[in-house]
Amino acid sequence: MSDRVYSKTAGWQDMAAGGVIPQAGNAEEYATGGWRTFRPVRDDEKCIDCLQCWIYCPDNAIKVIDQKVSGIPYDLVHCKGCGVCAAICPVKCIEMKPETDFEDEN
């Protein structure tokens, strides 16, 4: 059993502030992909560069150069492995693979 003591009179004003996000896009400044358990792997032969994965990626981890994603690596520093890109891809050319498959590369 926990030995923590909770005040019966403390209100929310007495709590320490947490989860403050002072500006949009501030996660760009630090690595957020460290807890990824699955990694997106794209088959560039099948990719039609429709850019839907780029539109839907919640972590801005898909890079686009000259309106193409194929041939360009993912930003794995920020990719959290959510699988949205694989789910949205109309030609199903993205496979989510376990990070354990890449242990030799890390």
Distance CA 29, CA 65 (A): 21
Instruction: Give the list of residues 6+ apart from residue 44 with CB closer than 8 angstroms, or none.
Output: 70, 71, 93
User: Footprint of ligand SF4 on residues 36-75 (CB under 6 A)?
Assistant: 40, 42, 47-53, 57, 59, 61-62, 69, 74
Asked if 27 touches ligand SF4 (CB under 6 A), the answer is no
Q: Which is nearer to ligand SF4, 13 or 75 (CB)?
A: 75
Q: Which two tokens stand for residue 44?
A: 């560039």
Nearest Cα to 71, choosing from 63, 80, 81, 79? 63
Smallest gap, in angstroms, from Cβ of residue 65 to ligand SF4? 12
Residues near ligand SF4 (CB under 6 A): 40, 42, 47-53, 57, 59, 61-62, 69, 74, 79-85, 89, 91, 93-94
